[in-house]
Structure 1
């Protein structure tokens, strides 16, 4: 069984809830980046030992949160030694607006993975884009490059759309499936 790790920052709980759904689908370990932008004790070793790293951040002002950016900048140590080269990577995000420039955040996560010499795993799920599609359908937001969720700015984490959480679980499952194919 591949070692999959979900590393994320969440400011208000929405991205945390999404991370938990991704982890559930991937049978993954979860590493939360704290409010100061730091990993828990042993977090770097956990990432170094992972077969796949799924990164998550809320979309703030068109990109990742500053806490996630601090983590990304700190990943220069494994970058320098190429410790994460050829690992599988994937990413997810949440914002209040339906678009909210979430694609910029996914592009940031993709670029970080590519700088580490990683292999990106896409969403692998068709969008719910027919006339009969409902907001609670999986991949209603129509992302291909990673999982996206939308949470109204006045809604708590417990009010996230079930379809977005299903999308996150399916996404996690896909990453774990691809990781199992890459195991030696």
Structure 2
């Protein structure tokens, strides 16, 4: 059975909500085993990820960048980089911030760059912004990909507890990312 790892940091629980929905999407086919990893549990041995066919990276966007703990994880992967163990694995990413923009795109670019450094194959979100359809309220929180991201899944969380935000549309977007990565792993790995 093919395997996908969802590797994430979540400072306040909002990015974890995304990670859980990415996991749900990656598990839907029944042909892919998906596992969730908090970076805190991997930092001492990132080589645990070597056995996976795909890795989906997730980080909150803090100050226009991935979180400090996620950057520490990125740096720890240099040990794997020397071996080339992640070359040709499938990769994707997701991020969350409080602001509508919050420079989330920059965080996704950092995740793409991490994947490229390892020689991984990046899978985009592959979804249109459903809130841009005629008759639909632009940015509707119930719509898939309401933030119009194509590089990876983005979510926007209000300043509320993680059980109240991000909105369902952003969580559905995360789920669709997981599903797409699982399909890519089945097709290309």
TM-score class, shorter: over 0.9
Give the corresponding residue for 2:9: 9
Structure 2: tracts of 5 or more residues without a match: 28-33
Indicate the residue corresponding to 2:188 in structure 1: 182
* Counterpart residue number, 2:171: 165
Aligned equivalents of 1:78, 1:120: Cα separation in 2: 18
The 1-side partners of 2:82 and 2:22 are apart by 28
1:147 to 142, 149, 153: 153
Name the residue aligned to 2:136: 132
RMSD: 1.3
Following TM superposition, by how much is the alpha carbon of 1:40 offset from its aligned partner in structure 2, in angstroms?
6.8
Measured after TM superposition, the shift of residue 104 of structure 1 is 0.3
2:31 alignment counterpart: none
Distance (whole Å) between structure 2 residues aligned to residue 141 and residue 175 of structure 1: 20
Q: C-alpha distance in 2, partners of 1:79/1:19? A: 24
Please show how residues 1-184 of structure 1 align to structure 2 within 5 Å: 1-27=1-27, 28-34=34-40, 39=42, 44-128=46-130, 129-130=132-133, 131-133=135-137, 134-152=140-158, 154-160=159-165, 161-183=167-189
CA–CA distance in structure 1, aligned partners of residues 114 and 43 of structure 2: 20
CA contact (8 A) 1:63 1:105 kept: yes
Find the aligned partners of 2:55 and 2:147 in 1 and give their Cα distance.
23
SS of the aligned residue for 2:163 comes to helix
1: CA distance, partners of 2:51 / 2:188 = 15
| Equivalent residues, number | 178
Give, in whole Å, the separation in 1 of the partners of 2:76 and 2:37. Answer: 15
Structure 1 length normalisation: TM-score? 0.93
Whether the 8 Å CA contact 1:31–1:40 is kept in 2: the answer is no
